[in-house]
Amino acid sequence: MPLYEFYCTDCREKFEVLSPFAKVSQGDVVCQKCHGSHVRKLLSVFAARRGGDGELGDGYDFESSAGGGGCACGGHCSCGEH
């Protein structure tokens, strides 16, 4: 079930609701603090982790790892080098 973020224009609070899409799209959401109905859905953002190049200091170095990431040609996908 998705987690949605809302902002109440009555009390100026942000809150989250774990709800089916159908309930959220029908406008059945009320503020959890003041129980007001003047709420708007916020655009939620999230962080995505880039993997494999070691750029983020994650301890994984793609260049020196054995196996090449699971590609059939040892990590040089579609390049013809082995």
Q: What is the mean pLDDT of the chain?
A: 73
- Domain contains 75: no
- Domain contains 11: yes
- Domain contains 35: yes
Q: Which domain holds residue 21?
A: 3-41
Nearest C-alpha neighbor of 39 from the set 78, 9, 59: 9
Q: How far apart are CA 25 and CA 39, in angstroms?
A: 12
- Of 10-24, 40-54, 67-81, the one with minimum mean pLDDT is 67-81
Alpha helices (H) in 1-82, listed in sequence order = 21-25
Rg of the chain taking only CA atoms, in angstroms: 23
Q: How far apart are CA 77 and CA 11, in angstroms?
A: 55
The answer to whether the pTM exceeds 0.85 is: no
- Domain contains 50: no
